[in-house]
Amino acid sequence: MIFRKVLFVLLATLAFSGCAYKQTVEPGKVDKLTKEIMELGPGIDPDEARRAAEISVYHSLDLAKQYNITDLPIIHNEKVHRGLRERGLCNHWAEDLSKRLREENFSTLEIKRAISPPTEMRIIHHTAVITKPGDTIYDGVIVDPWRYGGTLFHAPTKEDKRYNWRPREEVLVELVAASEKKAAQRTE
């Protein structure tokens, strides 16, 4: 009986551990993301779209190595919270990918940040968004390296039904206000 329990725990650990987890780039991923970026509208430089796609896909893999990602994202989050890893939360991925993309000084693309606020069923989630200059995040393409632990997820913002993306600044203002309200209620 004890043997079965130990075996179950070992098998479950292996199933959710680094032994079973690997970042990949599927064939055509850069081409597909380049196409999505080009579809943001007229005036997008094809070379910039291609470069942004390449950076998004391959820098995500580099970040996975830097962060020492060996587990599913939610498990890695726990490692960061426990001090076992320094970086790798979704806000780190969004910050580092956005920074790298902005280093290109694109003239026909803007790099923005979005947040999906926490709900009863989901933790807060941060990501980067590629848009045309002047467009909102809702008209852009989500580039989310955290979701699959370094294997980039990308989609037009409006098509990503998994998260309720909103402009980062808007959500941060709401979160700060809610935090201040809670603090004030505690001191009453």
Left (φ > 0), alpha (ψ -120 to 50) or beta: where does 151 sit? beta
Residue 10 lies in a domain: no
pLDDT of residue 72: 92
Residue 3 lies in a domain: no
Residue 150 lies in a domain: yes
Contact partners, residue 33, CB within 8 Å, separation at least 6: 52, 53, 56, 57, 141, 143, 152, 154
pLDDT digits (tens, 9 = 90+) for 70-127: 999 999 999 999 999 999 999 999 999 999 999 999 999 999 999 999 888 888 999 9
Contact partners, residue 160, CB within 8 Å, separation at least 6: 142, 144
pLDDT of residue 17: 47
Q: What are phi and psi of 28, to 5 degrees?
A: 85, 0
pLDDT of residue 21: 61
Longest CA pairwise span in the chain (Å): 67
Residue 41 lies in a domain: yes
Confidence of residue 1 (pLDDT cuts 50, 70, 90): low
Query: Rounded CA gap, 69 and 96, in Å?
Result: 15
105, 48 contact by CB (below 8 A): no
Residue 8 lies in a domain: no
pTM of the model: 0.84
pLDDT of residue 5: 52
Burial class (CB in 10 A: 0-12, 13-18, 19+), 8: exposed
What is the distance, to the nearest Å, from the Cα of residue 7 to the centroid of all Cα atoms in its chain?
34
Q: Which two tokens stand for residue 86?
A: 């320094």
pLDDT digits (tens, 9 = 90+) for 14-25: 454 444 467 878
Which range marks the domain in which residue 153 is found?
25-187
The structural domain count of the chain equals: 1
Strands 110-116 and 166-167 turn out to be antiparallel
What would the mean pLDDT of 142-171 be, rounded to a whole number?
95
More confident residue, 178 or 50: 50
Residue 49 lies in a domain: yes
Residue 66 lies in a domain: yes
